[in-house]
């Protein structure tokens, strides 16, 4: 083969390659552009979906916080009721101790009164015994 025919073949091959490339591109390009547009739409939908999902997650977190707050209020109410019961018990105990102190004071006063009466009776008896003891008569 001579160089001229080789050059023609190369040019013919280049033209053929060019035409085949253009044919191939024109055949697949519309589908590829459609796929590209579909992928862009999917990407946009995915972004919207991710935003919506993040908002829903935030709502769930808020719900959990509300549940936690409700649990805290329930616990606080329980402790408040316990506090009221303890206060009621303390009031009852205070009343009982006050009654016991008054009773103890009355008993102490009664015991002192009884001891005083016993002491007075003993003194009266001693005085009576002294009076009953014979006294020697004085010589005048």
Domain ranges in the chain are 39-126
| Tokens coding 108 | 């102490």
Does the model's pTM come out above 0.85?
no
Phi, psi of 2 (to 5 degrees): -95, 170
Phi, psi of 137 (to 5 degrees): -75, 145
| CA 16 – CA 14 distance, rounded (Å) | 5
Provide Rg for the chain, Cα atoms.
59
- Would you give the distance in Å from CA 137 to the centre of its chain? 100
pLDDT tens per residue across all 140 residues of the chain: 555 565 666 767 888 889 888 888 898 889 889 999 999 999 999 999 999 999 999 988 888 888 888 889 999 999 999 999 999 999 999 999 999 999 999 999 999 999 999 999 999 999 998 888 867 767 66
| Tokens coding 16 | 């053929």
């Amino acid at each position: 083969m001579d160089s001229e025919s080789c050059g023609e073949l190369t040019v013919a091959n280049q033209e053929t390659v060019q035409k085949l490339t253009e044919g191939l591109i024109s055949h697949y390009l519309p589908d590829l552009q459609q796929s590209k547009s579909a992928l862009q739409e999917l990407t946009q939908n995915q972004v919207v979906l991710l935003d919506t999902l993040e908002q829903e997650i935030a709502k769930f977190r808020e719900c959990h916080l509300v549940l936690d707050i409700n649990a805290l209020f329930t616990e606080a109410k329980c402790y408040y009721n316990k506090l009221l019961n303890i206060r009621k018990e303390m009031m009852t105990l205070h009343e009982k101790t006050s009654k016991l102190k008054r009773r103890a004071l009355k008993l102490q006063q009664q015991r002192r009164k009884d001891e005083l009466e016993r002491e007075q009776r003993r003194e009266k008896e001693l005085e009576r015994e002294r009076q009953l003891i014979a006294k020697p008569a004085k010589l005048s």
